[in-house]
Structure 1
Amino acid sequence: MTGVRHSAILVRVNEPAEHPRPPRRPTRARFPAVAAEPPGPGFGRARDPLAREVRLLGALLGQVIAEQAGPELFAVVERIRRRTIALRRGDPESRFEPDVERERLAADIAALDVPDAAAVAKAFTLYFQLVNLAEERQRIRVLRTRARRARGRPIDDSVGEATARLAADHGPGALEAMVRGLRVNPVLTAHPTEARRRTLLVALRRVRRLLDGLDDPLTTPDEDADLRRRLREEITILWHTGDLRAVTPTPLDEVRSALAIFDETLFTAVPGFQRALDRALIEAGVSGGGPATSPSSPGSGVVVAGDAGRSGTRPVVAPAVLRFGSWIGADRDGHPGVTADITLHAARLQAEHVIRGYEAVAARLMQTVAARVAPERVDRALGSALARDAEELPETVRQLRRRFPEEPYRQRLGAIAERLRRTRAALTGETAPRTGGYPRPGALDAELAVVQEALAADGLSRVAWGELAELRWQVATFGFHLASLEVRQHAEVHRATLAALRSGAGPDAEVAAGVSAGEVLATFRAMARLQARFGPEACQQYVISFTASPADVIDVLELARAAATPAPFGAGVPAPMLADLPAALPSLDVVPLLESAEALAGAGALLEALLADPAYRAHLRDRGDVQEVMLGYSDSSKESGFLAANWLLYRAQEALVATARRHGITLTLFHGRGGAIGRGGGPAGRAILAQAPGSVGGRLKFTEQGEVVAAHFADRAIARRHLEQVTAAALLASTPEHEREVAEAAAGGTSTMTELAAISRTAYRALVELPGFPAFFRAATPIDLIAGLGLGSRPSSRPGTRPAGDAARARDEARPPQDDAGGEASPGPADDIASLRAIPWVFAWSQARANLPGWYGLGTALEAFTGRGGREAVDHLATLYRRWPFFASILDNAELSLAKADLGIFRRSADLATGPSATAIRATIEAEYARSVRLLLLVTGRDRLLAGHATLARAIEL
């Protein structure tokens, strides 16, 4: 079992350390898991609610294990837990020497038969999931406690803190202009790093809601008992729920999973975030030019409420700054299963969900806004809208008038709900009346604005600027498309398609594994169709993987023009995949994705050449002179190593910013970050503030990949906090003073980082290019199993290569000669580490608890630099750590990755690789780990990893 977190995993029992006789089933009074259960009611007043919650969940899980699998298995789990804790913490009370204890733990695990081993792994896996849930809830408690203690002042990393600072430094007017120019664009992807099934995530949400009930300090003993009963019920279901998907998900399955996050949290988290921003701007002095109140009757202008003039009582001043994107159902790089039809279907599913959300809000408002208004006093604009409803929706209006006489707002909101239903039917292809809907989201927004103004004129300002304002924020954020679908395809596929067109090959010509030339052109026609139906913003970004030259960008425009011709493969040549897609030229923002070391090093030159091309410059002028460039964190790290990749990315940002400024265009950098440190992960706010000077500029775009989607958006409070953190950081990173301070700090560290990056890359490449390394990697990590886990619909290797799992099966069948590391004597396709996607590469190392992509090479670089420069070099690095956000972020992220690693578990994994080269590789990795820890602590001045982050250290220990 790998990845064991260590704490009171279940409950303590007192059986002997050696294997006991099978115990009799204990009575309730004697059974330890019952005795360990903390008493009720609830834990709303507990001094340490996290510890109490973990203890409760562990006790309930222990009871379920004993009930479902028997006390014998429970005892085995407990024995493993205790020995693991002693090893992890170096328990001074342990009776065993570490080496002896480690061998006994290994013997305990080795003695398990397969069913028992699976059950033990299930027990720990389920425990980790429950503790992670408890930690998320504790994070929310901490945030609320901070907010209460702040007594109305903004807390750290909030939009309130950022706007207060900016208003003090620049004034409310400048702050308002900055916010109106701000755009924050999270992009959801279906990267296969979320190992939990959607079924498990939904079940854990049910557990979360039950735990919320126990937080209530007024919970009665009966309520407490019922909540615990239901928790046991849910944990029992989780015990019998399979951890892995029975079948690999399809692209549309992944779309539906993402939509579940939207339905559960995002749809409601967005207006909560917008309200926080509105409140912060008003408190910072931003007026927005609108009146605080709109009285229309005697006495309505008298200030009698404590919140008069605040957000929710006056016209909003906060614009909708969020826009969401999605690659799910549109990313076809190395994924032949994502076709034009899949992308069209994904868009319909998104529209279905978001418009149903608007319908529900409008219907709820129809039931609540029951203000009576005499016919002669109805606002003129509102009256005109009601008359138009009567003409276009006669049957609906007859019913509304009968139900709600003299209640014009209920009639109007009911009609809006019906119009939304018709809009949804028209856009998603249902059989329903196509008249009476909204042609564009702007038409819906205009009608909501009329209702707001009428309510304000009737003295109902709170109603006007309350939930109605939040609905308008939702419409501005999500439109009728919910999230912009972004197409991604490999540059080589475009080259092959153009070659097929020029050679006269037919539409069925294969341009990549499972991809035809006709399908590539169908993608452009699908984009045009989506734009015609939902608006240009529904699908206009086209990302080019592994862009190597300006020609790769020009190729996309040429393909789009070819797709817009009636017969791109020649007159009379049938192309079935194009038959149902009318020829049309889509509106395109072409986005080069730079991910190789060569591409990143030449980023500035590539953009310079593109902007020098007259045809492309004309295209960009038509797009508002806005150029987006995506930076790939995962593949760059896999190629060059952690430290060198981060420096390549930073330098690329500097070059792109300088080039864009010379040509007077607006640059948007799209950060393709993953969740793991080795894929650009880490604390989001800190990462934004660590970007190169001038690289944010009020436009922040980044991916939310795989497991990060659930981590950031599964809970409404955490989702809002995450959105606040990235928005606050984007605002602060866009100021002239931040750019100046970062540039000054970087000036003193550029040559140092260049040297460190070169040494680090050499050390990293020396490791991965060792002849026996591919075989060691396959043996010491579960890479050969990951491809078969069904984590995502996308293959684990790029086109032209076999997935790692398939290669392993083929190798086993052929039984080739073995080298001294337990692999093949001569390299085959699976040995080519470059062909493996970065995600399974990082995932495999994390499962082996080495986390190698997040730190390897750092120690060698720091040792070489400080060894040559002595104490002065150490002081120089320490100064950079204090003053340069980029350098601090690098070391802090490496520290987190090193702290999460467990070399004891890694050694067990590495033991699976045999032979002299395997031994040498393992020793090299362990030596670099020790070197990295030692040098990192020397530079940061700490005595142990995470010494300044007690909460994080405790979370890793749990």
Structure 2
Amino acid sequence: MDHTSSQSLQQFRNLVGIRFQLYNSLFTSLPFHKIEKTGILLSLLSSNCEDGYKKNQSPIQIIEEFFSKQTAYVNEQEKLDLLFRFVQYAERQVVLFDALEDSAFREVHDMNGVGTLKHLESEIIRTEKQDELAKKLEDFTVRLVLTAHPTQFYPGPVLGIIHDLSKALADNNATLVNTLQQQLGRTPFLKKEKPTPYDEAVSLIWYMENVFYPAAGRIIAALKGSFPHAVGTENPVFQMGFWPGGDRDGNPFVNTETTLRVADSLRGSILKCYYLDVRKLRRRLTFQGIEPLLIGLEKKLYDNLFIPGYRSHLSKEDIVETLEQVRKIIIHEHNGLFQHLVESLLNKVHIFGVHFASLDIRQESGVHTHLFETMAESNYIVPADYPRWPEEKKISFLSTITETADPSLFKDDVERDTLECVAAIKTIQQYNGADGCNRYIISQCNSAANAMEVFALFLLAGWKKDEMNIDIVPLFETIEDLKHAAAVMEKLYRDPAYREHLERRKNFQTIMVGFSDGTKDGGYLMANWSIYKAKEELTRISREYGVDVIFFDGRGGPPSRGGGKTHRFYASMGRNISNKEIQLTIQGQTVSSNFGTIDAAEFNIGQLLNAGISNDLFVSRNTILSDKETELLQQLAEAGFDSYKQLKNHPYLTDYLVHASPLRFYNQTNIGSRPAKRGKSSGISLKDLRAIPFAGSWSQLKQNVTGFYGVGSALQKLEKDGRLDELKKLYKESLFFKTLLDNCEMAMMKSFFPLTSYLSRHKQFGEIWQMIYHEFELTRQYLFKLSGHTELMQDYPIDQLSIQMRERIVMPLVTIQQYALTRIREMEEQLVTSPLRPVYEKLVMRCSFGIINAGRNSA
């Protein structure tokens, strides 16, 4: 470990580890029933868990032994009451730990170290690459797209308390910390009703206003400060995207009214930010000739915000024009005094416009196909035999539609909304600008016709071809779809109507690739490699047709869903993969863990900017995988896929998850508006199950299958083929391969098999448990062979310690959850009807909150 890492680790121990122990004692003053006793007993339960798992006891044995030895409780209801108090107590411990990590961020992370924006600036100056930077920044952007996927359990009020608590901890204000913890004690963590898509949007807009708005201003100011001529106004270096209210895929609760309401809220929120900044400017810019300009701008903003029903066409250009006039007067008449304040606001206006974040529309391809088939049934605009046409004929027809469809003629709500939504995009653009809503993402896109059906939707909604300022974005996720993605895009590039559309969009084509369903479908190695290969092929075919392809990565929180050390993946891409922009989804607990504070957001956005810019400016991007390395990774992926398929195709896999994990209770947690599975069937099938509850269930089981399964088997197979030395060399020389395995280690670090070892003896599910455990041990063995390490995550000591501490906090919760699940199964197997069953089910769900929140750094 180098000196800097050692210093940071010591800072983490002092500022997070030791302070957690100190401030945890303040919990005894929280307004909980029998709080002192609860704290002492929870500590005893935690010790019992550690000792019990060492003795190979099951969760039910550990809990029963705890009650018999440490308490006098005999009544089952009394026992349950205590377990609920434990959950409540542990939830607050997790919040305290979150806040401590947030408050210590700047001291623990090297804000100027390798991989940061500051380091990039120094490297550009050292190598005199200012001109290359200016060229790169003509069209390079990092776009973060906030999604509402349900992997974050904190309700809005709790997030606000964490924010305030972090500040109080950073200021060492023990009195305020104590007060905020008392507030936390009285603030419910459980949502009685599911949030609506609009509720989800409001929660994320809080981050937009309080984190991304100031962080973006800092980042652009830093870049312009060092390279004033490199950062222009035409291309914002940083952008935000937004899915809540626009993402319809599998969410029946999103409709056109929601979309328009969310777009209006985004506009209102950014205008509020500008309004507050203009008021601050007026306190400093009290100079002659400036005050009338600022008063006029303030009034326009005020009228749009606070006069009911009033909404003028205040545009980004209007605001920029006024601020530019102010800036010129300051420069020419007032010696540039406070010029930096005006430029700071101008930077933000150029980034956020009057839309704040671009609202993406997303829908599953089958919905569009069904709409056209419905129209064909009644021979309405679409010919009756359309469903039977070959794809080429469909594509040709879809681009020639001239009639406008009447949405009111459609009885089905989803079909009607599909047409109304496309028409509503015009309304959004009218008030929020063209950037307010200009992308339509097609989930499960597996043909060129799927994309052309969306093109035709806009024609049906009254859009003219020459005014269609919309990016049609295919989303490829499954292993098969990724394999055929290049062929699908080539067919689109060859179509004259689509080529004309691309020319109007300056020959840029955005393509989304998704990690979550890919991992669920093909396992960890095959999913990641399939995405890499698909990007290579899509880059090649796009360049062949003169198209600049932009990749939009659908990444989740945990490594199994594309998370982990994300910036390192972007830094590892070679020139054979397009690097026009970095676009990725930020979802669930990743929002609060990586972008929960201004410091964290500035640091992590800076790392992404560094990765994207460095890849073009410095030699690392000249290095691409050799043919031999490509063949080696292909063999690894195939071997990993073969291993994963054996587990995936096991006849009892879904039953195992339903039996052992809280999967069946996901829909009852009220953490997100989206159902846990696609389709309307009553049962649970692996095909319909969404990737989030699939990965989340493994996470709560502490088995994290989607983050490592197949890796050990693949490495073992290649060793048997005599290729271990090649793998070691690849691990040392390929950042892509090392990052892949580093993230795998993160998933494994959060696994704990003693929790479920009792299932190893289960008549039906013992075989599955043994398969998973064997693969875990095999993977760990081979990772150590490659790295030479003796511990998981040895290269990341701070993350390693953070996970260890969080896992210790959460140990009683996973034990209680397994205890409750066992009790429920016993009632089902014995056909017992008990009034306490709903209580046990609620206990399972309550434990989920703390377990998932505690895993914020990898899920």
TM-score bracket, shorter-length normalisation: 0.7 to 0.9
Does residue 10 of structure 2 align to residue 64 of structure 1? Answer: no
Structure-1-length-normalised TM-score = 0.76
Q: Which residue of 1 aligns with 2:415?
A: 517
Q: What amino acid maps onto 1:713 in structure 2?
A: F
Post-superposition offset of 1:915? 4.3
1:230 corresponds to 2:196: no
Amino acid at match of 1:750: T
- What is the alpha-carbon distance in structure 1 between the residues aligned to residue 18 and residue 84 of structure 2? 28
Deviation of 1:209 (Å): 2.4
Higher radius of gyration, 1 or 2: 1
Alpha-carbon distance between aligned partners in 2 of 1:584 and 1:349, rounded to the nearest angstrom: 29
Deviation (angstroms), 1:683: 1.4
**Following the alignment from structure 1 to structure 2, what is the Cα–Cα distance between the partners of residues 430 and 692?**
53
Identify the match of residue 883 of structure 1 among 716, 722, 733. 733
Q: Which amino acid aligns with 1:648?
A: S
Separation in structure 1 between the aligned mates of residue 689 and residue 241 of structure 2, nearest angstrom:
26
Q: Deviations for 1:261-292, whole angstroms, at most 9, x for unmatched residues?
A: 1222222111111122223436xxx688xxxx
**Alignment match of 2:594 (pick from 707, 712, 716):** 712
* Counterpart position of 1:78: 43
- Residue matched to 1:353: 269
Q: Is the 1:561–1:585 contact (alpha carbons within 8 Å) kept by the matching residues of 2?
A: no
| Shift, 1:772, TM fit | 1.5
Say if 2:528 is the partner of 1:646: yes
What is residue 850 of structure 1 aligned with on the other side? 703
- The code of the aligned residue for 1:490 comes to E
Say whether residues 1:868 and 2:721 are aligned partners: yes
Please list, as runs of the form range in 1=range in 2, the aligned pairs for 1:244-393 lying within 5 A after superposition: 244-281=190-227, 320-371=236-287
Unaligned runs of 5+ in 1: 1-43, 89-96, 148-153, 215-226, 289-315, 372-406, 567-582, 803-828
**Relative to structure 1, is the Cα distance of residues 62 and 691 closer, same or farther in structure 2, using a 3 angstrom cutoff?**
farther
Q: Is the CA contact (8 Å cut-off) linking 2:56 and 2:757 kept in structure 1?
A: no
DSSP 3-state at the match of 2:502: helix
Alignment of 1:116-155 (within 5 A): 116-143=82-109, 146=110, 154-155=112-113
Q: Is the 8 A contact 2:233 2:350 kept in 1?
A: no
Alpha-carbon distance between aligned partners in 1 of 2:429 and 2:752, rounded to the nearest angstrom: 50
AA partner of residue 715 (structure 1): T
Q: After superposition, what is the alpha-carbon deviation per residue over 1:326-380, rounded to whole angstroms, capped at 9, x for unaligned?
A: 0110000111211111111111111111011111111111122123xxxxxxxxx
Is the 2:573–2:621 contact (alpha carbons within 8 Å) kept by the matching residues of 1? no
Cα distance in structure 2, aligned partners of 1:239 and 1:129 = 11
How far the C-alpha of 1:887 sits from its partner, in A, is 0.7
Alignment root-mean-square deviation, CA: 2.7
Counterpart pick for 2:324 among 433, 449, 452: 449
CA distance in 1, matches of 2:634, 2:90: 44
The structure-2 alpha-carbon separation of the partners of 1:770 and 1:55, relative to structure 1 and needing over 3 Å to count, comes to same
Provide the rounded CA distance (Å) in 1 between the counterparts of 2:727 and 2:680.
44
**Alpha-carbon distance, 1:170 to partner:** 5.7
Aligned 8 A contact 2:571 2:611 in 1: yes
CA–CA separation in structure 2 for the residues paired with 1:287 and 1:557:
36
Deviations, residues 764-803 of structure 1 (Å, cap 9, x unaligned): 111121111111111111101111101100111112334x
Task: Note if 1:604 corresponds to 2:474.
Answer: no
CA shift, 1:60, in A, is 0.8
SS state of the match for residue 749, structure 1?
A: helix
Contact 2:555 2:562 in 1 (8 A): yes
Q: Distance in 1 between matches of 2:300 and 2:408?
A: 43
Q: How does 1:622-641 map to 2 (within 5 A)?
A: 622-641=504-523
Residue aligning to 1:107 = 64
| Deviation of 1:719 (Å) | 1.1
Shift in Å, 1:482:
0.7
Does the aligned pair in 2 maintain the 1:862–1:935 contact within 8 Å?
yes
- Count how many residue pairs are aligned between Structure 1 and Structure 2: 761
- The 3-state SS of whatever aligns with 2:207 is helix
Secondary structure of 2:687's counterpart equals helix
Distance 1:606 1:70, change over 3 A: closer
Instruction: Report if the CA contact (8 A) 1:525-1:586 is conserved.
Output: no
Q: How does 1:755-794 map to 2 (within 5 A)?
A: 755-794=635-674
Cα deviation, residue 516, structure 1: 3.4
- The aligned counterpart of 2:345 is 471
Q: Give the structure 2 partner of residue 481 of structure 1.
A: 355
Tell me, what secondary structure is at the counterpart of 2:143?
strand
Q: Counterpart of 1:856 in 2: which secondary structure?
A: coil
Instruction: Indicate if the aligned counterparts of 1:365 and 1:410 stay in contact, CA closer than 8 A.
Output: no
Deviations for 1:222-274, whole angstroms, at most 9, x for unmatched residues?
xxxxx434333322332343322110000110111111112222221111111
Per the TM alignment, residue 565 of structure 1 is displaced from its structure 2 partner at its CA by 7.8
Taking a change above 3 Å as real, the CA distance of residues 694 and 475 of structure 1, as seen in their structure-2 partners, is farther
Q: Distance in 2 between matches of 1:323 and 1:334?
A: 26
Cα shift readout 1:508-539 (whole Å, capped 9, x = no counterpart): 7889xx74322111011011221223222111
2:486–2:541 contact (8 Å) kept in structure 1: yes
User: Deviation digits for residues 38-83 of structure 1, max 9, x if unmatched?
Assistant: xxxxxx9999232332122211124437x64243323211212234
Instruction: Give, in whole Å, the separation in 1 of the partners of 2:541 and 2:150.
Output: 35
Percent identical pairs in the alignment equals 23
CA distance in 2 between counterparts of 1:167 and 1:661 reads 31
**Structure 2 CA distance, aligned partners of 1:170 and 1:769?**
56
Q: Do 2:144 and 2:583's aligned partners in 1 also have CA atoms closer than 8 Å?
A: yes
SS in structure 2 at match of 1:835: coil
> Quick check: 2:148–2:588 contact (8 Å CA) kept in 1?
yes
| Equivalent position SS for 2:791 | coil
Shift of residue 446, structure 1, vs aligned partner: 1.8
Name the structure 2 match of 1:221. Answer: none
Q: C-alpha separation between the residues in 2 aligned to 1:48 and 1:706?
A: 29
| Offset, 1:686 | 0.6
SS in 2 for 1:787: helix
Aligned ranges for residues 24-103 of structure 1 at < 5 Å?
Answer: 48-64=14-30, 68-84=33-49, 98-99=55-56
User: Quick one: which amino acid aligns to residue 258 of structure 1?
Assistant: L
* Equivalent position of 1:799 in the other structure: 679
Q: Equivalent residue of 2:474, what SS?
A: strand
Structure 1 residues 926 and 587: CA distance shift in structure 2, 3 A: same
What is the TM-score when the length of structure 2 is the normalising length? 0.84
1:211 equivalent in structure 2: 169
Write the letter of the residue equivalent to 1:453: K
* Number of the residue aligned with 2:499: 617
Task: Tell me the CA shift for residue 502 of structure 1.
Answer: 2.4
Distance in 2 (CA, whole Å) between partners of 1:135 and 1:105 is 31
Equivalent residue number for residue 452 of structure 2:
554
Determine the C-alpha separation between the residues in 2 that align with 1:343 and 1:103: 47
Deviation at 1:319, TM superposition (A): 6.6
Q: Match for 1:947: what amino acid?
A: Q
Q: Is the contact between residue 336 and residue 515 of structure 1 (CA under 8 Å) also seen in structure 2?
A: no
| Conservation of the 8 A alpha-carbon contact between 1:340 and 1:519 | yes
Distance 1:627 1:424 in 2: 36
d(CA) in 1 for partners of 2:147 and 2:19?
33
1:616–1:109 CA distance, 2 compared to 1 (3 A): farther
Match of 1:542 among 415, 420, 440: 440
Q: Name the aligned partner's letter for residue 446 of structure 1.
A: E
> Does the aligned pair in 2 maintain the 1:277–1:318 contact within 8 Å?
no
Distance 1:480 1:318, change over 3 A: closer
Equivalents in 2 of 1:45, 1:787: separation in Å? Answer: 40
Shift in CA distance, 584/656, structure 1 to aligned 2, threshold 3 Å: closer
Q: Which structure 2 segments of 5+ residues have no match?
A: 1-9, 74-78, 381-405, 806-859
Does the 8 A contact of 1:700 with 1:730 survive in 2? yes
Report the residue type matching 1:714 in the other structure. G
Structure 1 range deviating more: 848-857 or 527-536? 527-536
* Paired residue secondary structure (1:543): strand
1:837 positional shift: 0.4
Amino acid in structure 2 at the alignment position of 1:793? S
1:61 alignment partner AA: F
Note if contact 1:654-1:695 (Cα within 8 Å) is conserved in structure 2: yes
- Whether the aligned pair in 2 keeps the contact of 1:650 and 1:692 (CA below 8 Å) is no
Q: Give distance in 2, aligned partners of 1:496 and 1:117.
A: 49
**After superposition, what is the alpha-carbon deviation per residue over 1:448-499, rounded to whole angstroms, capped at 9, x for unaligned?**
11111110112432412x1111111111111111111100001000001111
Instruction: Tell me the equivalent position of 1:925.
Output: 772
